[in-house]
C-alpha cells in the first residue's frame, strides 16, 4: 500500500516512538494528525514538521487518551482537517508502577478506545473505506518484565486485545487490517523512566536489575522501530500480525489464526 495521499492519526506523537512514526509517514507522502497530551512539545514538533513537509501536512491536537471526549474530538478534528483517516497508530504509553490505574487507563484503555474510534470511522459497515490500525505493545507484551509488572500487564493486554479485534475485523469483513508492534527497549522517555526509583515500587535494588536487563537486550534506535512500523502499515499481507523488533531480530510472532470453521460463520452474522 502506497502512503502517498493517505491520512494517519498517531497518539503519543510529540516525542519518542510516536515522533518517529509520524516522521516516517510524512517522508512517505502521508498527512498526519499528531495527538499528544504534551501541548508545548507537540506544537514545537508541528513547527519543525512545517518547515520540512509544509504546514498542511500535519495538525497538532492536544489529547489525553484516557478521555473519551478528548479522543473523539481529536478524531473529529482530524477528519475535519483532512476529510478522512486511513491509518491509526495507538502509541501513547507510560511507565507508572505506583499508579497502576493511570498506567492501565493510558496503555490499555487508550488502545482500546482508539481502536474502537478508528473502526467507527473506517469500517465498511459504517460507510468507511477501510485502512489499517497499528497498536503499539512491547516485548513486555510477549515476555514478562519482572521489574515492571504493571507495564507488563498493560502490554500483554494490548497484544491480546489486538489479536482478538483483528480476528473480529477479518471475520466481520470490516475492511480494516489490525496489527501490533512489539519493540524491545528503544531510546525514548519511557526507557529513561525504567531507571527511576518510581518504576520499581519500593524495591530500589531492582534498579540495578533493570540496568542489567536493558544492557543485555540492548537499546534500539527509534528509526529501526519506525521502519518496522512502516512495514505493518504498507504490507497489505500483514493483517493480525504481531511484529517483534529487537537488536538482533525483526519478525512476526507466530500465532494461530481464527479457525476456518469460525471464519465461515461470518456469512451468518448480521452485518
Q: What are 142's three cell numbers?
A: 510477549
Q: How many whole angstroms separate alpha carbon 190 and alpha carbon 128? A: 34
Q: Which of 35, 31, 28, 134 is nearest to 89 (CA)?
A: 134
Q: How many whole angstroms separate alpha carbon 13 and alpha carbon 54? A: 17
Task: Give yes or no: 195 in active site.
Answer: no
- Residue listed under C-alpha cell 496489527: 179
Q: In sequence order, which ranges of the chain are alpha helices (DSSP H)? A: 16-27, 39-53, 68-82, 100-104, 110-122, 149-171, 189-194, 206-217, 222-234, 260-263
Q: How many whole angstroms separate alpha carbon 188 and alpha carbon 77? A: 28
**Other beta carbons less than 10 A from residue 261's beta carbon:** 7
Q: Which of 89, 79, 27, 16 is nearest to 53 (CA)?
A: 27
Pair type for strands 87-90 and 7-11: parallel
Catalytic residue among 53, 116, 151, 195: 151
Angle (CA) 204-208-213 rounded to 5° is 125
Environment class of residue 62 by beta-carbon count within 10 Å: exposed (0-12), middle (13-18) or buried (19+)? middle
DSSP letter for 107, please: I
Which residues belong to the active site?
A: 151
Amino acid at each position: 500500500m502506497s502512503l502517498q495521499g493517505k491520512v494517519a492519526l498517531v497518539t503519543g506523537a510529540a516525542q519518542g516512538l510516536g515522533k518517529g512514526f509520524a516522521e516516517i509517514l510524512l517522508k512517505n507522502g502521508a498527512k498526519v494528525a499528531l495527538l499528544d497530551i504534551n501541548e508545548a512539545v507537540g506544537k514545537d514538533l508541528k513547527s519543525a514538521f512545517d518547515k520540512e513537509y509544509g504546514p498542511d501536512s500535519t495538525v497538532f491536537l492536544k489529547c489525553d487518551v484516557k478521555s473519551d471526549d478528548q479522543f473523539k474530538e481529536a478524531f473529529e478534528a482530524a477528519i475535519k482537517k483532512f476529510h478522512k483517516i486511513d491509518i491509526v497508530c495507538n502509541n501513547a504509553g507510560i511507565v507508572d508502577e505506583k499508579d497502576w490505574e493511570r498506567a492501565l487507563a493510558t496503555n490499555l484503555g487508550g488502545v482500546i478506545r482508539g481502536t474502537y474510534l478508528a473502526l467507527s470511522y473506517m469500517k465498511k459497515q459504517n460507510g468507511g473505506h477501510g485502512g489499517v490500525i497499528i497498536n503499539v505493545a512491547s516485548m513486555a507484551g510477549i515476555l514478562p518484565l519482572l521489574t515492571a509488572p504493571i507495564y507488563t500487564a498493560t502490554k500483554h493486554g494490548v497484544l491480546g486485545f489486538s489479536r482478538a479485534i483483528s480476528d473480529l475485523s477479518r471475520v466481520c469483513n470490516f475492511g480494516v487490517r489490525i496489527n501490533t508492534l512489539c519493540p524491545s527497549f528503544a531510546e525514548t522517555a519511557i526507557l529513561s523512566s525504567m531507571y527511576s526509583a518510581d518504576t520499581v515500587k519500593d524495591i530500589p535494588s531492582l534498579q540495578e536489575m533493570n540496568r542489567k536487563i536493558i544492557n543485555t537486550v540492548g537499546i534500539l534506535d527509534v528509526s529501526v522501530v519506525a521502519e518496522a512500523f512502516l512495514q505493518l502499515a504498507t504490507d497489505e499481507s500483514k493483517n493480525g500480525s504481531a511484529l517483534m523488533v529487537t537488536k538482533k531480530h525483526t519478525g512476526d510472532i507466530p500465532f494461530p489464526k481464527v479457525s476456518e470453521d469460525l471464519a465461515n460463520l461470518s456469512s451468518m452474522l448480521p452485518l
